[in-house]
Homo-oligomer: A and B are copies of this chain.
């Protein structure tokens, strides 16, 4: 009997070329697929919920695969964790209906971005926070973020040259919190375009610093031109927190 197994995967993406398989590169997908092959005896194809880039982290990436293996779920989970490097952790393994697809079945995704405004970053979080050493007007950032919530065409916030033609997405919520020298930007949406979170964060930071006007967010959204938005914020501040189904 074929089973469809859903894994929740946490990883420190610092030393990986992202989630998605690439030839001659260390990717999280390749590491988990190789470990699975050793454990269940055959090659499987993992479908990941979010394509995280090189240096991006995940607290709750989701991926599923199909197998006829009869190995118990907790055995698969423990064997994977014993086999994988310490920077990848299988949080859970469960059986799901055959029609479940980590990517297409996802109802919403939560990404979190961490910024440190210190000129030199705390060594303990250096891989998990991007440095942006300017005073930030958090209220102004919050007002600009409010423009983005709801259903919009986010073409301006998609990496130039990205293939996706349907650039309509719905952002449910953007939360911006400050805690000392750290600023956390959390976003919930039904889906994200390629580099969308990092471009939104890059734009919000320019607004927070006063380099871009708060009001320009509306224009950027309407212009649908990548060049009008801010720069792409660095990968290391980004984390895929959770995928909801």
Contact = CB atoms under 8 A, between A and B. Distances in A.
A198 B128 CA distance: 28
Interface residues of A, number: 21
A140 interface: no
A86 B119 CA distance: 12
A88 interface: yes
Q: Do most interface residues of chain A lie in helix, strand or loop, or is the interface mixed?
A: mixed
Interface in A41-92: 57, 59, 78, 81-82, 86-90
A216 to B, nearest CB: 33
A12 B89 contact: no
Nearest to A86: B126
A87 B119 CA distance: 14
Contacts of A57: 124
Contact of A89 (B10, B59, B78, B120): B120
A11 interface: yes
A87 B126 contact: yes
A77 B112 CA distance: 31
A204 to B, nearest CB: 24
For the complex of A and B, 7 pairs with smallest distance between CB atoms: A81-B120, A12-B123, A87-B123, A86-B126, A89-B123, A11-B123, A10-B123
11 contacts: A10-B122, A10-B123, A12-B126, A59-B124, A81-B120, A82-B120, A86-B121, A86-B126, A87-B123, A88-B123, A89-B123
